[in-house]
Amino acid sequence: MRLHVTDHPLVAHKLSVLRDESTPSPIFRLLVDELVTLLAYEATRHVRTEPREVRTPVTTTTGVALSDPSPIVIPILRAGLGMLEGMTRLLPTAEVGFLGLQRDEETFEAVTYANRLPDDLTNRQVFLLDPMLATGATLVAAIDYVLERGAHDVTAVCLLAAPEGLQVVQEAVGDRVDVQVVVAAVDERLNEKKYIVPGLGDAGDRLYGIV
């Protein structure tokens, strides 16, 4: 597993506003969208391309285009939905799948409740979107899902990560596959309720309200 922590003043600024408990949901959603677009620049640094001839007003030249098959972006429901537009803004030709996972608040294990993914992800670059990498259980379950369908190039884009969760992902993934985790920050720790500290609270509730 490769970890990339984005070091950029705009990322730090937007993340600070997200952490503020007084930031209302509409502003929170807007900032998540903007922040994910910044993270997406790093997450797509190694997206696969192929040569393509382009005719300019002056002459012809060789440019690049995204390779086939196209990448697939998979938000982990529900909070990952708030990251989707920011990611597809940079990858408008990517396909979108959906994976519904939620944490059991007693066992802290990931429970699957929805799955809308292609059966075959062979040779597809996969981008998983989940705001919080806390215990790591949800991300590990998502990675296992896409690996079972043939994926071998997986990038997870998260706003925050806890050291404990990163270690869980590292141990679960090992050397099986090329996995990259791109985050805005790695926070201090998890608390007794397995929330990231200092964190920003429940990302889903802050995006969409408490259901």
Residue 146: other Cβ atoms inside 10 A: 24
Residue 133 Cα distances to 3, 93, 95, 106, 124, angstroms: 12, 27, 23, 18, 23
Q: Which candidate, 137, 41, 130, 33, places its Cα nearest to that of 85?
A: 33
- Marked catalytic residue, from 56, 60, 107, 175: 107
Q: Is 68 a catalytic residue?
A: no
- Marked catalytic residue, from 103, 144, 149, 178: 103
Q: Is 61 a catalytic residue?
A: no
Q: How many CA atoms lie within 13 A of 121 on its CB side?
A: 26
Q: CA 80, CA 99: separation in Å to the nearest integer?
A: 9
The H-assigned helical ranges of the chain are 9-19, 25-43, 84-88, 137-148, 163-173, 203-208
Residue 190: other Cβ atoms inside 10 A: 19
Q: CA 123, CA 56: separation in Å to the nearest integer?
A: 32
Q: Is 103 a catalytic residue?
A: yes
Element (H, E) at 152: none
Q: Is 37 a catalytic residue?
A: no
Residues labelled catalytic: 103, 107, 202, 205
